[in-house]
Structure 1
């Protein structure tokens, strides 16, 4: 009998983790240069803050969202003599994927606390699922680097695997099936982006937003640590507000604090069902 089947019905059975900004790549920096570079190849200048705006979406949808930004759409019309349409989105996307794949392993270090917290969850019998806005082509480069650091989730659902990605719940539904876990209230989705939180909320799971380690702040760990305390507090508060607005049940700085949230959720589930937890 598996550890999963021995868990009480009320308990958390699985945690589904995003990748960049959640488990690897503090600051979720890998895609940013690729977005700026690929638009530059088409004669359009975009900024890092603009590039970060739709983060969490599948990468083609991300490019489409950028094309819909009025300033970017106007720059495209100036460069190409027409508004960006589906053909333009496809052309940019075709060049973006290999660009992102080429740099993803440069930003593949596990976020501090990730390995210990994931190991703790596994000792508790939890499954570890994963969804990502990255394509399979990009993930094929990232997976072995993460595995070499000890991180191998029980499944992986990528952008493009299903008919629709984030913020729809479909990738989460695939995780339920792959991991054999239900009901949704026994699953926690952890993400650093609004679309990633929204996919968990749409699937009916608990949602945990990561305010500091991911896209909302967008700084490397060294850059974050160099900030004055007041600036850290300001950025943390702004990021937390964005994630809560997207539907996050809990917001923490990074995955390093995740086990405490899992324990709090399990206590809530136990109380709702009148289950007395052992000390």
Structure 2
């Protein structure tokens, strides 16, 4: 029985048109690093400070604390500008899936490679609310501000369990559009799912150790673990 579904945000439940990818690439390139598409894909879904540090190093730029902080600030600036011009929307079918899961009594949490300063304004722009009430969108949100290390470490999933009162990791299903989403789910011992609504292609996700590979989160309520 699944008691908690923990879902990634951008690319999984939220369609931002690939803005996170673009902002990460632009900020690192502006800092003087070259970015290989494969490296960018590898670090998507992780804590963005960690991603910037790694991408600068891979791009032959020394990631000093000052440069990483400045690059992260530029990343957030790029996001704000892009979201102001092209506001993100819910992935098709995502809101209905979240509502259906919560109607069945399944807790729903969002986890993200964003920190609080990025994640909460994004949710506010969508009109998504957090809480246990029937009129809320999700039960909990966990960002990189809440954990010492981001994905593929399982800590955000464990924090989501803590926030929703779920004690058994076997009752948790995790889904996301990046390699590290799947790895974090597997590292937590949860049911791990990949979704194909992000930038990662099928071959990239199929190479991972997953339980289900889905077209989108809209398919989650129909999974065997949730259809009983």
User: Normalization by structure 2: what TM-score?
Assistant: 0.86
- Residues 1:177 and 2:162 aligned together: yes
Gap change, CA 1:151 and 1:216, over 3 Å in 2: farther
The equivalent of 1:112 in structure 2 is 92
- Structure 2 CA distance, aligned partners of 1:41 and 1:155? 35
The equivalent of 2:122 in structure 1 is 142
The equivalent of 1:272 in structure 2 is none
The equivalent of 2:215 in structure 1 is 253
The equivalent of 2:206 in structure 1 is 241
- Residues 1:24 and 2:4 aligned together: no
- Structure 1 CA distance, aligned partners of 2:87 and 2:11? 10
Please give the residue correspondences for 1:15-164 in structure 2 after superposition, counting only pairs within 5 Å: 15-25=5-15, 29-46=18-35, 50-69=39-58, 72-73=59-60, 76=61, 83-104=62-83, 106-147=86-127, 152-164=137-149
For the pair shown, the structure with the greater C-alpha radius of gyration is 1
Gap change, CA 1:138 and 1:102, over 3 Å in 2: farther
- Structure 2 CA distance, aligned partners of 1:102 and 1:49? 26
Please state which structure has a larger fraction of its residues in strand: 2
Give 1:129 deviation, angstroms.
0.7
Q: Which runs of 5+ in 2 are unaligned?
A: 130-134
The equivalent of 1:194 in structure 2 is 179
Gap change, CA 1:59 and 1:151, over 3 Å in 2: farther
CA offsets 1:76-117 (integer angstroms, 9 cap, x no match): 3xxxxxx34444323322322232233246352111111221
- Structure 1 CA distance, aligned partners of 2:39 and 2:83? 20
**Helix, strand or coil at the partner of 1:22:** coil
Gap change, CA 1:26 and 1:97, over 3 Å in 2: closer
- Structure 1 CA distance, aligned partners of 2:226 and 2:222? 10
**How many residues are matched?**
222
- Residues 1:209 and 2:197 aligned together: no
Give 1:118 deviation, angstroms.
1.4
Please state which structure has a larger fraction of its residues in helix: 1
- Structure 1 CA distance, aligned partners of 2:139 and 2:83? 21
- Structure 1 CA distance, aligned partners of 2:165 and 2:157? 12
